[in-house]
Each structure stands twice: as C-alpha cells, then as structure tokens.
Amino acid sequence: MCWFVTTLVAVVLLVLASPTRVFAQEPSQEASPDTRNDEAVRVYLDCQTFGCDFDLVRREIAWVDWVRDRDDSDVHLLVASTQSGAGTVYDIQFLGRERFQGEDAALTRASSSTDTQDERRRDLIEQFKLGLVGYVRDTPAAEFLRVEYSVPAAATVVTPENDPWNLWVFAVSAGGSARAQSRTSSVSVNGSLSANRTSENWKFRWGSRANNRENEFEFTDGTTTTSLVRSAGTDVLLVRSAGPHWGIGGRASVTSSTFSNQDIRVNIQPAVEYNIFPYAESSRRQLTFQYRIGASRVRYDEVTIFDTLEETLYE
C-alpha cells in the first residue's frame, strides 16, 4: 500500500509542476477572413441601373470589403445598362485603384426581357464574383474560395432571324386620377404607346401619347366653371450609324395642345451627331455634339397677341 501512496503523491507533484500549457493549447496561428479585413480587397459599387441590390450583393459576396466612398476603394465597380431589342445589356467595368492601379477589366452581360427582377440581380452578382476573383487571388481570402462549373444548356443568340419579334420592343401604358372637394373636382386620363427597334446599324424610336384633364369649380353663388386641357402628340426618331463616332438621322413630330393654344404643330429636324468616344462605349462614357436644324408649321386655336393664326417657325 505504501508504494501506491508514494506513486500517487509523485504523480500529483509532477502535474502541479508542469507548465500551464498542458491544460491550454496555443491559439491557432491561422486566421479566418474576418480577421484579415485590413488585407481584404475594398470595393465601391457604382450602379444606378435596374437590377442592382446592394444589400444582396454585400451578403452574397462577403469575401471583399464593400465601401461607400470611392476614394477608399481598391476597385471601382461601375455598372451601366442599355436597352436592346431582346432585353437589357449590362456593361460591367472593374476599374483598379490604389494597389490595383491600371488593372482594369470589363464584362458584358445580356438579360432577356422575360427575366424576373430576382433573376437579373442574381445574374449580376455572378458576374461581379467572376470579375472580382482576379483581384482576390493574391490575398488571404483566396484560400477560402472554391471554383464550381455548371454545364450550360445550349444557348441561342438573339438575332432578327430567330427573334419572333424581330428586335421590336412595344410598350403600352394608361393611367388616370380623380379627386373632389366641396367646391372643386378634377378628372385626368392619359395613355401612351411606343415601338422601338435597335439593330447594328439602325435605331428607330416611335411614341404617341395623349392626356385629358378636366377641372370644375363651383362659386359661392352656385354657378360653375369648367376648364378642359387636352394634349396629344406623336414623334419618331431615326438614326443611321455612320462609323464609330458619327451618326446621321432626324426627328419628326406632330403635336396638339390647348394649353399652348396650338391646334396642330408639325416639326421636322434633320440632325448630325459626333461622339468623342466610340459609340461602343456609350453605356460607360459619352460626350456628344449634336447639330439640328428644322422648321415647325403651327396653326393656333385662337389668334395670338401678334395677330397670327398660322405661321412657320425655324429652329
């Protein structure tokens, strides 16, 4: 029994004399991405177009630091969009700053007019991921990223030949309002139609609109007065590409407005336009100079203060 007690005491003394690291392990030297924020890529999202959801982008792409000031960023993520016959084309620019100065990249993505809002914003997020990986590859966050590949389904490029609408985009809108008080009432009705088509060499825009507003007021003696304001018009724009910087076309319109005392106004304006930057970059930057010259033939509802009922105006 004595040998057992002696052994037990020796073991207890040995344990008490051991360094505290027997009971506590050294903290791991490997840090998670959250502890490396000072090394993370700082990104400024500059997107004013339909489809960008900053809160969702920030949640889905958590491996970069999203900043709200461009001057604090390493990458300026600039997103612009243009309408096409089949939907929307997004021009995504990754502009390197600070440590990534001169390291720019660009992506182009087209969405269909049948895509839902959620499909568009999530597709944009995937494009953001694809472009930002190039800046993250040399940072500690890269080891926490994984590459996945999904076999794509056969895609069809939209052309006038396979587009059932032949690149045409039509829009119809209508609206109205009504309000009333004890002595006044107002009713307004409006509507519009438009047809647009953009191809490689031509751009066509047509629109037609009409508005009718009626206001009624009752005086204290019981009599009433009614004012009626009507306006309507249609206009067309046709532009032909004449190279990467030049465009030639014209605009014509026919309008009528009781508010402007115009029974009918017919306007025709040929125009020429020059863009300092190539038109292919127009979704990101453009500086255009346009020269238009034309004439308008106007017939008034009532004789003007210049004793004129009909005249030609040069513009």
Higher pLDDT, 5 or 226: 226
SS3 content of the chain, % helix, strand, coil (to 5): 20, 45, 35
Query: pLDDT digit string (tens) for 271-287?
Result: 898 888 876 666 566 78
Report the candidate in 233, 172, 168, 234 with the shortest Cα–Cα distance to residue 203: 168
Which tokens in the block code for residue 67? 């900043």
Nearest CA among 131, 118, 130 for reference residue 53: 118
Q: What is the rounded average pLDDT for all residues in the chain?
A: 81
Cβ atoms < 10 Å from Cβ of 174: 10
CA gap 122, 53 in Å, rounded: 9
Q: Long-range CB contacts (< 8 A, 24+ apart) of 245-251? A: 245/274, 245/275, 245/276, 245/277, 245/278, 245/279, 246/272, 246/273, 246/274, 246/275, 247/272, 247/273, 247/274, 247/275, 247/279, 248/272, 248/273, 249/203, 249/273, 251/292, 251/294
CA gap 133, 43 in Å, rounded: 12
Of residues 296 and 4, the one with the higher pLDDT is: 296
pTM above 0.95, yes or no: no
Q: Average of pLDDT values for 70-91? A: 83
**Using the 8-state DSSP alphabet, how is residue 282 labeled?**
T
Phi, psi (degrees; rounded to nearest 5) at 254: -135, 120
Confidence of residue 27 (pLDDT cuts 50, 70, 90): very low
Region 178-205: what's the mean pLDDT? 88
Q: What is the pLDDT of residue 142?
A: 83
Of the pLDDT bands very low, low, confident and very high (cuts 50, 70, 90), residue 153 is low
In angstroms, the Cα distances linking 301 to 60, 208, 210, 309 are 61, 21, 18, 7
